Chain A
């Protein structure tokens, strides 16, 4: 059972426009969510996170929105740049009873930003 799902394997956006990447989860105990970015032949790097007590977190061009009732989060990138082209993974964790800080990852969405 996939607890964290990214239903869009790929997304193509024009440079300067908004990119919206979506993620759904099924476990209502998840209380902390993260987005990672991964370039080819490199390890994932942390991008932005959000706690379940918030519904929005912003860092420069990146904003993550959390809708707990829908068990849905999204990452907005505005404006999109060609250097944003990468695979984006969302991840979730249940901090209170989570021994060792385990994360559950989605399948990833490959973003392509065209000049």
Chain B
């Protein structure tokens, strides 16, 4: 049981390049999320998927697209990377039930855009 896995762990891009961050979970969770973490800003939600087949914008969606490939996988795509997208990206998943919304996080992807 690996939990939430993310690839790659680290990536350097040039401005204008594109890339896809991959995320997979093996906990059979319905909901998945993409966050970015920047110094002094906490974790900000980029996009989320409440269930397979649905995606919605979070707090900072501009410059990103997502795909919920199946129940396990949720990818984040940068079509044309900008230096402002230099950040640490975390994927998370949760089983949204009445008792709460505890999210489980992956180890993160560190992205540097030059």
Contacts and interface: CB of A to CB of B under 8 A. Distances in A.
Interface of A: 4, 6, 9, 32, 34, 36, 41-46, 49, 51, 89, 91, 93, 95, 98-103, 105-108
A17 B33 CA distance: 36
A49 B42 contact: no
Interface of B, secondary structure class, is strand
14 contacts: A42-B107, A43-B92, A43-B105, A43-B106, A45-B105, A49-B100, A49-B102, A89-B42, A95-B98, A98-B101, A100-B56, A102-B33, A102-B58, A103-B45
Interface of B: 4, 31, 33, 35, 40-45, 48-51, 56, 58, 90, 92, 94, 96, 98, 100-108
Given A41-B108, A99-B50, A101-B96, A46 B102 contact: yes
A51 B41 CA distance: 25
